[in-house]
Structure 1
């Protein structure tokens, strides 16, 4: 006999995730308007994240003027953030709404791995871009000889390889023993040992935070000194240095706001990080960082607004459109 639902003493209605399966988990039935509001929010943020990062990817890929080492790094960041908006945001959003897992046992094991790889790679891209900006501000005369596209590509590959290996290390038990990810049909939890959580805090919070903040402070100091000497010659260069410092400062702030709450929750809630509403909220905040990145790295610059206009008006399909001048309107 199939069990479709049950009611407890507090008149809360529960349904089975898979009514025709006796091993199915149960779920609490929520009002319909809650589902609608949250689904609309998740869909909007996901589409917005994919749209913004696609604009960045198409812009850097299509226009020859944007084929620089810095933009190659931004391209890698946009790819990671695109995956977040395309895959991680919708699934993590559904986990936030639905207590049941409807994506199967295999994807239950693979999804956390994809999550860790992409989010770690995104963080690595932030660090590499910070280093690139530091070299550009601190040693502008030798920047072209120290930083080129080949080295940028190498750093990107190394970053993604590290993210893959690191995520495999952190989630080794979960991938090797997938049966630990559920106790009934329709459940998907991620259990990480406390030692791994502490390691993750050191690798993806403490160390990157120290690096980025240190680089930011040095950029501010150098940019301020350079601005005093350059102001008498040209305001354009001084403004460029100030923009680099200001942009990186926003990066630091958004990075801290998105990552610190997650690790506080992970260390406070405990080892079971997959079945906690608080942890799922923190995961979602991490994903939101991928929506902010294209705004920080691209929309602050006029070349992005110009390239986006060309893309949205379909002018990129014109002959030789890849050679359009994106900096002609800059002053």
Structure 2
């Protein structure tokens, strides 16, 4: 087997000693190098930001709350995306060959789906948690505890692992049974169209509907509370009245808009494109493009759910300056005096 060289693409063979080896495409052009650098930076940032969230919530006792456990769960799911899913996809973009064996090739979509589903599950639980906190604030402390939330998270992760295993098992047993390639040294996953529809319902339509409905109800309650505050603030100076009546509603509206827009922008293109194709293959350009758009949601999540909070900014200062290694650092007060 002679190696051949073309412009910007060097064509070789994955395993030269194997007669059934697939052809190897090492993409070395300037555009691919630039793409490699950009995607690598996204992966590193995803890992770094989510590690900051995980360390903050795990280390500081003041942050051990039910709501923060959900943010921790979300950060762990997004960390898997940045630490495993993104690097593997980068390698596949730069080199068409697969050197990690058939077992890991079959495990990759399970890990990929687990991280994505766990991230979505955490988003849904965050919406449920905030709904209970806003609509039933008096019974929230007794209804939502750290122990109960931990059990919900563990159960949710178990279901998120169970789903892709069953999904891939069923997918492998639906016709057609022919593999997409007969050569050795490639990892390509083909998803049947009938299961793509099921996945759209499970991974997008259902959780997105729940999130939209819950945040819509939260926004409605926030407006009602703002009106109630205005009704009892007749004796309050105008400037303070405006602050009391509009602060919570404005913050809720802004955060709601950011959450929904980012979530939909990252997820909808991938699933809409998958519905338009007869079958989705992991080697297609459409799959790659919209997969990476979906992955970037894992980079944005820590910004939306953590950086907007003052406790995160304070905890980052302690982590970056290595002050978390000081004695009793876990008991430091991270909240401003006016919080």
CA distance in 2 between counterparts of 1:264 and 1:202 reads 12
Residue 228 of structure 2 corresponds to residue 229 of structure 1: yes
The secondary structure found in structure 1 opposite 2:204 is helix
What does 1:1-20 align with in structure 2 at a 5 Å threshold?
Answer: 2-5=1-4, 14-20=11-17
Judge conservation of contact 1:60–1:71 (CA < 8 Å) in 2.
yes
Residue 213 of structure 2 corresponds to residue 214 of structure 1: yes
Residue 239 of structure 1 and its aligned partner are, at CA, apart by 3.1
What does 1:123-142 align with in structure 2 at a 5 Å threshold?
Answer: 123-142=120-139
Distance 1:305 1:237, change over 3 A: farther
The secondary structure found in structure 2 opposite 1:298 is helix
Q: What is the number of equivalent residue pairs in this alignment?
A: 328
CA distance in 2 between counterparts of 1:113 and 1:22 reads 30
Q: Unaligned 5+ residue runs, structure 1?
A: none
The secondary structure found in structure 1 opposite 2:281 is coil
Judge conservation of contact 1:25–1:100 (CA < 8 Å) in 2.
yes
CA distance in 1 between counterparts of 2:44 and 2:286 reads 24
Q: Unaligned 5+ residue runs, structure 2?
A: none
Residue 293 of structure 2 corresponds to residue 294 of structure 1: no
From 308, 314, 326, the equivalent of 1:318 is 326
The secondary structure found in structure 2 opposite 1:192 is strand
Residue 29 of structure 1 and its aligned partner are, at CA, apart by 5.2
2:151 alignment partner in structure 1:
154
Distance 1:115 1:138, change over 3 A: same
| Structure 1 vs Structure 2 CA RMSD | 2.5
Deviations 1:249-296 (A, max 9, x none): 322211111111111121223314222111011111111111010000
From 320, 332, 336, the equivalent of 1:328 is 336
Residue 65 of structure 2 corresponds to residue 60 of structure 1: no
CA distance in 2 between counterparts of 1:77 and 1:188 reads 28
The secondary structure found in structure 1 opposite 2:138 is helix
TM-score (norm 1): 0.91
Residue 310 of structure 1 and its aligned partner are, at CA, apart by 0.8
TM-score (norm 2): 0.89
1:202 alignment partner in structure 2:
201
CA distance in 2 between counterparts of 1:16 and 1:113 reads 28
